[in-house]
Amino acid sequence: MSTTAAGPEAPGIVCAFAVSRTPPDPALLAAARGHEEGGPLRAVRAGGLYLVVQDVPAALFGEEALTERLNRPGDLERCARAHHRGVEAAAGRGPVVPLPMATLYRGDLTAVRAVTARQPVLETLLARLCDRTEWAVKVHAAEAPPESATDPGARTAPGGGGRAYLSRVSARRRDRRGAHEKALAEAEAVDAELRRYAVAATRHRPQSERLTGRRAPQLLNIAYLVDDARRADFTEALARIAADGGRRAVRVDASGPWIPYSFARWDEDPQAGPEQEVRP
Partner 1 sequence: MTDLEHRYPARETEPYGPPSGSLADLLERVLDKGIVIAGDIKIDLLDIELLTIRLRLFIASVDTAKKAGIDWWETDPALSSRAARDALAEENARLRERLDALESAAEETTGAVR
DSSP 92: G
Residues 240 and 221: their CA atoms lie apart, in Å, by 19
Q: Is the dihedral of CA 31, 35, 38, 43 positive or negative?
A: negative
Which range touches partner 1 (CB under 8 A), out of 180-188, 227-235, 237-245, 264-272? 264-272
Candidate list 8, 9, 74, 163; residue touching partner 1; CB under 8 A? 74
Q: Does 148 bind partner 1 (CB under 8 A)?
A: yes
Candidate list 41, 53, 90, 125; residue touching partner 1; CB under 8 A? 125
Q: Do the bridges between strand 132-141 and strand 96-105 make them parallel or antiparallel, or are there none, so unpaired?
A: unpaired
Which range touches partner 1 (CB under 8 A), out of 14-22, 173-181, 228-236, 238-246? 14-22
Window 91 to 120, contacts with partner 1 (CB under 8 A): 91, 97-106, 110, 114-115, 118
Residues 115 and 199: their CA atoms lie apart, in Å, by 26
CB under 8 Å to 179, separation ≥6 — which residues?
A: 141, 144, 249
Q: Are 24 and 93 in contact (CB under 8 A)?
A: yes
Specify the DSSP element, H or E, that contains 233. helix 231-243
Q: Does 76 bind partner 1 (CB under 8 A)?
A: yes
**Residue 182 vs 231, nearer CB to partner 1:** 231
Q: Does 80 bind partner 1 (CB under 8 A)?
A: yes
Residues 184 and 237: their CA atoms lie apart, in Å, by 19
Q: Do the bridges between strand 250-258 and strand 49-56 make them parallel or antiparallel, or are there none, so unpaired?
A: unpaired
Q: Are 253 and 137 in contact (CB under 8 A)?
A: yes
**Residue 182 vs 277, nearer CB to partner 1:** 277
Q: Does 216 bind partner 1 (CB under 8 A)?
A: no
Q: Does 163 bind partner 1 (CB under 8 A)?
A: no
Q: Does 271 bind partner 1 (CB under 8 A)?
A: no
Chain residues that interact with partner 1, rule: CB under 8 A: 13, 16, 18-19, 61-63, 66-67, 70-74, 76-78, 80-81, 83-84, 87-88, 91, 97-106, 110, 114-115, 118, 121-122, 125, 136, 146, 148-149, 154-155, 157, 159-161, 204, 207-208, 210-213, 255-259, 261-262, 264-266
